[in-house]
Amino acid sequence: MWKKLLATAVGVALWGGALPGEALADGERVLINVASHSLALYRGDDKIRLYPIATGKISTPTPTGYYKILSKDVNPTWTDPTDHENVIPSGPYNPLGYRWMQIKGNYGIHGTNNPSSIGKHVSNGCIRMNESDVEALFDLVSVGTPVEITYNRIVVEKTADGNIAYYIYPDAYRRQPLDAAGVRKWLDGFGVGNFASNEDIEAKIAASDGEPTYLGKPYKAKVNSATLKNKAVQVNGITYLPAQEVALALKLDLKWSEEAATLTSPYGKAKGYDKNDILYFASEDAPTLFHLKATLNRDNEYDLTTLKSIPTTPTTNQPSTVKPPVEPGIPKEPQGADTLNPTVDTTKPTPPNFDVTAPPQETVTPQDRGEGAPETTIARDESMGGAEAASAQRKPTSTEPDKDLTTNKEKTAATDPELTPKPPTVKTPSVTAVNTDPTRRLSRPHERGAVLETIPEANREG
């Protein structure tokens, strides 16, 4: 029977539910917990008073159950329950003090002439109060006010700022043994059961000191309007959300690394928190882990809604694809072995580059000619003749040996001085016209309109 009373009592005291059949929605009710030596006065769902009390000895326990105030008396007389002829009138020697509120037979709520007894199991079953407290309560209640008496070693309550605190009291009547699993069930009703470890609960049971332990602020949580079973809980400024439930609501795979304490989803990774085998993540990681935005709405509920756009990855470490600007009039550097370089560096010899496509046409101005005539030089390899260097840079268009374009004879280094290495040529006049003189040959024989190379007279063939 007392287990049923325990469950109902916690529901009334902490959820603000109505007493069976008696309490009105906006009326007063008295809730007494023998184990915690406390008397609370509720008005509607609000606890408006809380007083310390003394209760019955183990041999004469205070009865539990549902009662109501049957009568109220000022300056009551006391009759010894073991000797009805022993009657003490109102005054300083009266153990009832100056106020009496009957709840059942000889049981009632009253004052005391022994204030040091408050907080102990010392009475014959009545509820004792400090004189100032009982007089205040006397004026707040009326005949018919419901009274509920429970024996609850564990008390869970929601504080004014929304925090959940729980207390565990001694088992003076040896009626209510506790274990971690049983305590957790009470905490689960407030959404914070996962935030107390078994070790912490067992240590608190062993202490049974009636001191509060604060666990956090619970909030109802929704994913795209679907309510989650487990609540969001705020502890020390961090709001924890149930990761597995969120992943299930979004139909996403979720992986957990116990060693790294990391949660991984298709969207990314975030730190995870194992709370009694339930995995949580911080609300600030909702965009990274689930592509969600977490906000606390007007109803004091956490809304998790899908972001409108997928977050982009920072590109600060990505290589830039923007090419540097090229100053006007300055040719670009060659980008490969097959790119034509229209300018020639005469300071050091380099192999010529050829492109199988038609080369870009350039306009030669008098300013580009220096002293009035261009100096066109094909750079040669130190160990090759010009024709051999050209042959090494590109695939030949014919299997025939390299021939002189003017005589159609095969050339060798021994018969053609042009194929032997020589220092850069001196400036000599050249003609940029169609080749009609056999003493001049094209510097790039396969290109139409290429610049002609002037053969000095000393090197010309007869």
Q: Is 110 a catalytic residue?
A: yes
Q: Can you give the length of the chain in residues?
A: 462
Residue 137: enclosing H or E segment and its boundaries?
helix 131-140
Q: Shortest CA distance to 405 belongs to which of 374, 373, 445, 365?
A: 445
Q: Which two tokens stand for residue 218?
A: 């619970």
Residue bearing tokens 């709520």: 109
Q: How many CB atoms lie within 10 A of CB 449?
A: 11
Residues with Cβ within 8 Å of residue 132, at least 6 apart in sequence = none
Q: Is 121 a catalytic residue?
A: no
Q: What angle do CA 361, 367, 371 make, to 5 degrees?
A: 115
Among 37, 110, 121, 291, the active-site one is: 110
Q: Which two tokens stand for residue 222?
A: 């929704």
Q: Which two tokens stand for residue 61?
A: 């326990």
Torsion over CA of 448, 453, 458 and 462, rounded to 10 degrees?
0
| Identity at 388, one-letter amino acid code | E
Burial class (CB in 10 A: 0-12, 13-18, 19+), 226: exposed
Among 37, 121, 126, 291, the active-site one is: 126
Question: Three-class SS of residue 391?
Answer: helix
The set of catalytic residues is 110, 126
